[in-house]
Amino acid sequence: MKVIPAIDLRDGQCVRLFQGDFGRQTGYTHEPVELAHQYETMGFDTLHIVDLDGARTGQPKNQEIVCDIVETTGLTVQLGGGLRSDSQVDRWLSAGLARVVIGSLAITEPGRVAGWLADFGAERIVLALDVNVDTSGVPRIATHGWQRGGAMALWQCIEDYLAIGLKHVLCTDISRDGAMTGPNLDLYRELIRRYPEIGLQASGGVRSINDLMVLRQTGARGAITGRALLDGKITTEEVATFLRAA
């Protein structure tokens, strides 16, 4: 299982939001490009970047930083946040990104996203399917920066896209994001049980190296962590030991 550090960008700065709420932001002093180099030095080979400004406006706002990271590190970089047009997807992939991460549009404009899977290749498209688990235990997808709840079940969405070649899903339990309460292991185990062919990136709630160890046992292909690394809850030494055991 790959451990994938996350860098969330807002106004050119590293930040973390609590459950996607722009009003509940934690800022960090790390310079984003330097932080990416630090993660590479720690032994990570993949990086997840979220352009929060792009997510709000639909227009990328941190291109220079993202391109600098792509050009000056050897990291495999994937980017999400506000990608809403064919030209934006093409521009980012042509700029050296390994993958683009598509969120709300996968629900609101499935035909367009299906076209991207066909045109750019399923290896280069990650669907970010962010869920709230309802009272009956069904994970239901939220859209528009988690501000709108949806009726669509996670399983229905994955099955629809599997039929046209989907390979990568980034799944976040919104209630766990930024909360440092531990990942939703039951959700990820069930997703992998149903769809073992999917390359799952588990996101939300990682608070320690122990959480990563348990996530690895679920069969997830990747685990995204942001705050735990930024806050020093996962140390360089722990990362080195974990990666050696991979």
Active-site positions read 8, 130
Beta bridge partner(s), residue 148? 143
**Encoded tokens for 38:** 């630090």
Residue 230: closest CA among 3, 46, 48, 30: 30
Given a contact cutoff of 8 angstroms between Cβ atoms, the answer to whether 69 and 30 are in contact is no
**Encoded tokens for 239:** 């990362």
Given a contact cutoff of 8 angstroms between Cβ atoms, the answer to whether 132 and 175 are in contact is yes
- Give the number of other CB atoms < 10 A from CB of residue 27: 11
What is the pairing mode between strands 76-80 and 99-102?
Answer: parallel
Continuous segment of H or E residues that includes residue 35: helix 32-42
Given a contact cutoff of 8 angstroms between Cβ atoms, the answer to whether 245 and 212 are in contact is no
